[in-house]
Amino acid sequence: MKVKVLCRNPDDYVRETTRDIQRVPRNYDPTLHPFEVPREYTRALNATKLERVFAKPFVASLDGHRDGISCITKHAKSLSTVISGACDGEVKLWNLPKQECLRTVQAHEGFVRGICSRFCGTSFFTVGDDKTIKQWNLEAPGYGVREEPINTILGKAVFTGIDHHQRESTFVTCGQTVDIWDEQRSSPIRSFSWGVDSFSCVRYNPVETELLASCASDRSIVLYDTRESAPLRKVVMQLRSNTLCWNPMEAYYFTCANEDYNLYTYDIRHLDVPVTVHMDHVSAVLDVDYSPTGREFVSASFDKTIRIFPKDKGHSREVYHTKRMQHVICVRWSADNKYVLSGSDEMNIRLWKANASEKLGLLSTREKAAAHYNKKLIEKFQHHPQVRRIARHRHLPGDILKQKREQREMKEARRRREQNVRKHSKPGSVPLLTEKEKHVVAVVE
Amino acid sequence: MLQKRLALKRAVFDRGKEKVFFTLPLRNFNQTLGIAYEKTAAEVSCWRNIILQNQKAEQMVFPLNQESSGPKRVEQVVAGWKVQTPLEQEIFRLLHINSQPVADPVLTPVEEQSLKAMSLEEAKIRRAELQKARALQSYYEAKAKREKKIKSKKYHKVQKKAKCKDFLKQFDEMVKTNPEGALEELKKMELSRMEERMSLKHQNSGKWAKSKAIMAKYDDSARKAMQEQLQMNKDLTQKIVVPSDDEHESNEEGLETVPDFVNDSEPVIDSVNPWMRGQLTHEEPEVSCVTTEDVQTAEEENEEEELVGEFERKRKLRQVSDKEEEEEEEEDDDEEEEDVSEFNTLFRLMRSEKTLEGSNPTREGLNTPGQEDEDGLLNEGQVRVRNIEDLEVLGEVVDPQPIAEPSLPQTAAVEATSEPPNKKKREIDLKEVLTKEAKAVKVPFLPTVVDEEERDEQISIIKEAFAGDDVISDFIKDKSKREAAGRPEVVDLTLPGWGEWGGVGLKPPRWKRKRFRIKAAPPPPRQDQKLPDVIISENRNASVAAHQVSQLPFPFQNTAQFESSIRTPIGPTWNTQSVVKNMTKPKVITKMGAIIEPMVKEHFIKNKTTTPGGKGPAIMLGENKRAKEGAKRSSEKHRGRRSQKRRK
């Protein structure tokens, strides 16, 4: 007679040492774990709900300025330091983790129009309405010593913006003209101008460091190469662009914030049509900044909201607002890709999480794994109506919502009108223009 | 400078070929501008590959150029060290003279250059080559090891012979092509022959030979082996150049060396014929043995080839089975291979069935209305969400379509299996009762536990339990009813009294019936048409529809693709840890507290660093040209568009 005996191999259940983790046998036989899809769907739904529940993006508010914030810049070498300039000419240095002001400098008379920190993180430059460029030391002066700039340059006209080169000791300012300066000289090395317009913003390309772009008040965006004697090319749009920002990971893309409530991403090799039109704001967009990974950008608008856009999507993935936040004038994305800083009219700098529901601080391995899994689940089931509905839901203040509705109606009416015109005119005489083509008036060589 | 101007002029001339070339200064200025722009565009487009690569990358880790976290050299760590003593000064002067690095004494300029010389891609290619070579080597080694391990003497013998034959062939060729080499080979052979003559190998004087000699009396194979040994000796000691006389001698010698008593042995062991045993010295078998050897050489060769082939085949078979076993090992080691494979196929079948069932509802739900909003849009509203309850309520607020359809009573047993939200209580279903036993027959999940008898017992128990109600006929009735309900009815539009006499008890005439009774086209065949014991409800389930995808999402091209993307589970419940980790890895990883710097050109584009001032190697020029052409083309296109715009 054959006797059946249960026999187990001790290797399967005995630990080598008592310090080992207990072995948990697991059978992955799919018949033992049925209903994969429905179970994962439920998990995805729960993950989506929790993501929304935990979406608390607002971290802190830094108050202390006595006028609206006009510009913010990041410290080049330190994540915890931020420099901000206000409309009363005051510049403040902030320590972000402690949420306190380290230092206050009365830098200019009138507005501080632009700040940029030097690449080495030892000093920063400010420009103001008093036609001066000032270089300041980032280290505070000793006790009882007066705050004085390292260097002051008196210009001929008001400067409206400044940006520093990524590696060399040159910087660029804009105003009546776009000027390139050497730190050692008191007059610009080179000046560019195209027509007689004033410029509102100028930025160095962080990757191709010889390239420059500026926004002018004649509704144009002008490209420059510092090695050439003249500007390269000019795009004229239907409305004025306020600021622009280069993608730090993709050398030939930049995004500009326009007065017509949209943002436009351009490829500098094909300037006649923007690559993407980003729509969602209901008022003029005042500032834009790319995330250091180059995947997303944040925009600040006159409609009192901040929006985060994926760089290749036409609509925002996130909108931030608070009751007390007024027109947002400047916005920056922190260099570790975790936070967003916004400066607004009502004298506050606000610190937001870039990823609203992300847990801050150190995560244990299991927490991390769970977060990754949840994120992937949401991504996997993103097309399912319930998941999508919950993931997309955002609260908006009533007046913005109203404006949005209004604008949708206007847009629809415009579209209808155009259709009618096309219907009643000679075929081909009213060309069909895509949304991208509509906003560019001309490219001037 | 002059060259630049010349090139510029040429370019301008090329452009102006189709038009008249104006020498106006303004025009000239514009031309240069255009050229400058094109140059920059071409220069910038060298980033294209990197950008595309990063966009496609499954995972990006920021900051991009991270330093290795390993130990650093002392020179790197001690940065602020200065020369102080005169001896040090002298040493450093020497270093200076020989252009050795001083400030950061890790690499000389030459070394650095050599490091930079190989770009990342080149290095990758090189590494791949090396890897391949290494892999090949290891394969060969493994093969040799394996062959060495084979215990079969026959195999080795055959192998050796095959090699020998090969060598002979090669030698023949060598004689024709490379006589010197052949001579050398000959010398080698001679040497080996001498060695063989000197040694006692193959002389039938060893331990083995002696034991064989004893055995040979009774064993034919032992005898044969001894003969073979002698033969080998003979072959090896044979003079190669003059083959005629020696052969005979050695042959005779070989015959002589066989001990006499060997011949006394019984060549054919025949248990049936006892008379044969008594035979003494018998010449025939020996002769036959030798003759067969001589005659059969040709045949043997064929056999050898066959044998080699067979060995190969066997080995391959074994490998395949090994692989299968490895796959199955996790599930069950003890089961035989056949069982395992059967198990696998069943498994696959079952899974496919299940997924089919799971996919049905999505196909059904294709006609949901209400897709007014685009993908990217946020649903912005005045509702604030604070907890999960709010999220639940959110649906009622936002969702405009709770579609109530006047539908047939839902059974939808099959759908219910794939959809958890449908938590309606179910009655005892025929499907559960019957198909389970059918599955038990098909699938050997618990082959050791469930015996035939038990199963019979179960069946009888089930039969007993459902003795009162005739489940099967109920089921069949139910199904036929549903089928009938699904069939379209004939629409009767006949009006009595039109075109004929009216009155009670009159039937409409035939022509009228033919003309005014409208038969609808038959519906598409039911899904359960060929499944006798299943009812598949094809009605849409409104409660499930809210959770179903109604339109094919953008990147997918057909429903099958989308369904397959949903089907694979990614959770740890279904996958091993490493698989989960791989499947759920995030697209972007950032290091906490690290500043992510913008890309630095020197790190990513090597050629640029070696070409200061616009001079570059030919390859670069070519690229530029192409890029320029592209730019030109695009600019032409744009010009066309622009002209349109201006016309407006």
- Tens of pLDDT, residue by residue over B436-490, are 444 444 444 444 445 677 888 888 888 888 777 788 888 999 999 988 888 888 8
Chain B nearest CA to A44, separation (Å): 11
**What is the share, in percent, of chain B residues with pLDDT greater than 90?**
15
CB of A206 closer than 8 Å to CB of A254: no
Chain A nearest CA to B11, separation (Å): 17
d(CA A165, CA A153): 18
More confident residue, B201 or B16: B201
Residue A91, SS3 per DSSP = strand
**What is the share, in percent, of chain B residues with pLDDT greater than 70?**
54
CB of A213 closer than 8 Å to CB of A224: yes
Q: Rounded to 5 degrees, what are φ and ψ at B497?
A: 95, -10
Which chain A residues are within 8 Å of B36, Cβ to Cβ? 225, 228, 230, 232
pLDDT > 50? residue A179: yes
Residue of B44, B351, B366, B374 to mutate when probing chain A, most A C-beta within 10 A: B44
More confident residue, A45 or B11: A45
Interface contact flag, B380 A38, Cβ < 8 Å: no
Domains of chain A with bracketed CATH: 10-54+365-392 (no CATH), 58-353 (2.130.10.10)
Average of per-residue pLDDT across B69-93: 73
Residue of B45, B66, B379, B565 to mutate when probing chain A, most A C-beta within 10 A: B379
Which of A110, A129, A69, A115 has its CA nearest to residue A329?
A69
Residue A333, SS3 per DSSP = strand
More confident residue, A205 or A15: A205
pLDDT, residue B73, reads 66
The beta-carbon neighbor of A232 closest among B36, B379, B550 is B36
Which chain B residues are within 8 Å of A34, Cβ to Cβ? 354
Task: Determine the distance from the C-alpha atom of residue B302 to the mean position of all C-alpha atoms in its chain, rounded to a whole number.
Answer: 39
- Mean of pLDDT over chain A: 93
What are the Cα distances from residue B470, in Å, to B464, B466, B467, B475, B531? 11, 7, 7, 9, 20
What are the Cα distances from residue B137, in Å, to B124, B142, B144, B159? 20, 8, 11, 21
pLDDT, residue B513, reads 85
Residue A92 CB partners (closer than 8 Å, separation 6+): A64, A65, A83, A84, A85, A86, A101, A103, A104, A105
d(CA B147, CA B135): 18
Q: What is the largest CA-CA distance in chain B?
A: 138
Helix and strand numbers (H, E) in chain A are 5, 30
| Of the candidate ranges A145-149, A338-342, B393-397, B577-581, the one whose mean pLDDT is the lowest | B393-397
Interface contact flag, A393 B394, Cβ < 8 Å: yes
In DSSP terms, A101 is beta-bridged to A94
* Token pair recorded at residue B314: 């066997």
More confident residue, A314 or B396: A314
* Residue B58 binned pLDDT confidence (cut-offs 50, 70, 90): very high
For the four alpha carbons of B318, B319, B322 and B328, in that order, the dihedral sign comes to: negative
pLDDT, residue B77, reads 65
pLDDT > 60? residue B574: yes
* Token pair recorded at residue A425: 């005119």
Q: How many CB atoms lie within 10 A of CB A369?
A: 16
Strands annotated E in A276-333: 276-279, 285-290, 296-301, 306-310, 318-320, 328-333
More confident residue, A33 or B107: A33
Average of per-residue pLDDT across A71-85: 95
| Of the candidate ranges A275-284, A409-418, B401-410, B575-584, the one whose mean pLDDT is the lowest | B401-410
What are the Cα distances from residue B576, in Å, to A10, A56, A373, B332? 22, 33, 14, 17
Average of per-residue pLDDT across A116-136: 94
pLDDT, residue A87, reads 95
* Token pair recorded at residue B542: 């409104």
User: Given the structure tokens 């715009």, which residue do they identify?
Assistant: B645
Interface contact flag, A233 B37, Cβ < 8 Å: yes
CB of A341 closer than 8 Å to CB of A349: yes
Residue of A35, A273, A393 to mutate when probing chain B, most B C-beta within 10 A: A393
Q: Kindly state the DSSP code that residue B401 receives in the 8-state scheme.
A: -
The beta-carbon neighbor of B379 closest among A318, A362, A392 is A392
The beta-carbon neighbor of B596 closest among A314, A335, A375 is A335
Chain A nearest CA to B37, separation (Å): 5
Q: Does any CB of chain B come closer than 8 Å to the CB of residue A249?
A: yes
Q: Does any CB of chain B come closer than 8 Å to the CB of residue A236?
A: no
pLDDT, residue A326, reads 94
Interface contact flag, A270 B638, Cβ < 8 Å: yes
pLDDT, residue B527, reads 85
Size of interface A-B (CB pairs under 8 A): 243
| Of the candidate ranges A35-49, A286-300, B80-94, the one whose mean pLDDT is the lowest | B80-94
In DSSP terms, A214 is beta-bridged to A202, A222
pLDDT, residue A195, reads 84
Which chain B residues are within 8 Å of A362, Cβ to Cβ? 592
The beta-carbon neighbor of A292 closest among B398, B574, B596 is B596
More confident residue, B348 or B23: B348
| Of the candidate ranges A112-121, A375-384, B442-451, the one whose mean pLDDT is the lowest | B442-451
Interface contact flag, A401 B380, Cβ < 8 Å: yes
pLDDT > 60? residue A102: yes
Chain A window 401-440: which residues touch B at a Cβ cutoff of 8 Å? Answer: 401, 404, 431, 437
**What is the share, in percent, of chain A residues with pLDDT greater than 90?**
88
| Mean pLDDT comparison of A293-307, A359-373, B330-344, highest-scoring range | A293-307
How do residues A213-270 score in pLDDT, each as one tens digit? 999 999 999 999 999 889 999 999 999 999 999 999 999 999 999 999 999 999 999 9
CB of A286 closer than 8 Å to CB of A328: yes
How do residues B234-279 score in pLDDT, each as one tens digit? 887 777 654 444 444 444 444 444 444 444 444 444 444 444 444 4
What are the Cα distances from residue A4, in Å, to A337, B331, B448, B449, B452? 62, 20, 10, 11, 17
Average of per-residue pLDDT across B587-595: 92
* Residue A354 binned pLDDT confidence (cut-offs 50, 70, 90): very high
Inter-axis angle of helices B2-15 and B25-44, to 10 degrees? 100
Interface contact flag, B634 A317, Cβ < 8 Å: no
pLDDT, residue B34, reads 81
CB of A176 closer than 8 Å to CB of A157: yes
* Token pair recorded at residue B319: 């490998």
How do residues B359-385 score in pLDDT, each as one tens digit? 444 333 333 333 444 556 788 888 887
Which chain B residues are within 8 Å of A276, Cβ to Cβ? none
Q: Rounded to 5 degrees, what are φ and ψ at B300?
A: -55, -40
d(CA B534, CA B536): 6
Q: CA-nearest residue of chain A to B576?
A: A28
More confident residue, B13 or A91: A91
User: Given the structure tokens 């399912």, which residue do they identify?
Assistant: A384
pLDDT > 70? residue B315: no
pLDDT > 70? residue B26: no
pLDDT, residue B538, reads 80
Where does residue B188 rank: exposed (0-12), middle (13-18), buried (19+ CB within 10 A)? Answer: exposed
Average of per-residue pLDDT across B114-139: 87
Residue of B52, B62, B344, B359 to mutate when probing chain A, most A C-beta within 10 A: B62
Half-sphere exposure of B259 toward its Cβ, with a 13 Å CA cutoff?
18
The beta-carbon neighbor of A230 closest among B33, B381, B591 is B33
Interface contact flag, B570 A442, Cβ < 8 Å: no
Which of A153, A74, A164 has its CA nearest to residue A108?
A153
pLDDT, residue B308, reads 60
pLDDT, residue B240, reads 62
Note the helical H segments in A319-397: 365-380, 385-392
| Of the candidate ranges B70-79, B152-161, B374-383, the one whose mean pLDDT is the lowest | B70-79
Interface contact flag, A293 B590, Cβ < 8 Å: yes
* Token pair recorded at residue B133: 């070579």
What are the Cα distances from residue B139, in Å, to A275, B134, B142, B143, B322? 51, 9, 5, 6, 17
Half-sphere exposure of A392 toward its Cβ, with a 13 Å CA cutoff?
21
> What is B171-221 written as a DSSP string?
HHHHHHH-HHHHHHHHHHHHHHHHHHHHS-TTSS-SHHHHHHHHHHTT-HH
pLDDT > 60? residue B281: no
